[in-house]
Amino acid sequence: MDWLLLLIAGLFEWGWPVGLKFGMTDDGLHWGWIAFAVFCMFASGTLLLIAQKTIPMGTAYAVWTGIGATGAFILGLLLFAEPATLSRFFFVGLILMGIIGLKLTAAS
């Protein structure tokens, strides 16, 4: 169950950089997006806190940030037309391999 909570926490990690990106534009601050970002930060951190009851802290944190970084990368491509270079995909793939490796080697 804690691994599922950690996965959901990682998904909430996607929300706050997107909220901050949409929250600050040349037109000024957009408080709805900033509130969305703060909510995602709170939800993500709370779920990480709960998941760490049974998942070692270093593993949980690495997986959490890896899910967040991977999701932010994908959303950056889809929403903000960020560069989709082979090297960027390669290095995000390494992050994903690390997440999978940590899950496979985690103590039961």
For the chain, domain boundaries: 2-105
DSSP symbols for 47-87: HHHHHTTTS-HHHHHHHHHHHHHHHHHHHHHHHH-----HH
For position 103, what pLDDT does the model report? 86
Q: How does pLDDT run across 8-32, given as a tens digit for each residue?
A: 999 999 999 999 999 999 999 999 9
Please count the other Cβ atoms lying within 10 Å of the Cβ belonging to residue 60: 25
Q: What is the pTM of this model?
A: 0.86
pLDDT at residue 82, rounded to an integer: 96
Query: pLDDT tens-digit profile of 48-102?
Result: 999 999 999 999 999 999 999 999 999 999 999 999 999 999 999 999 999 899 8
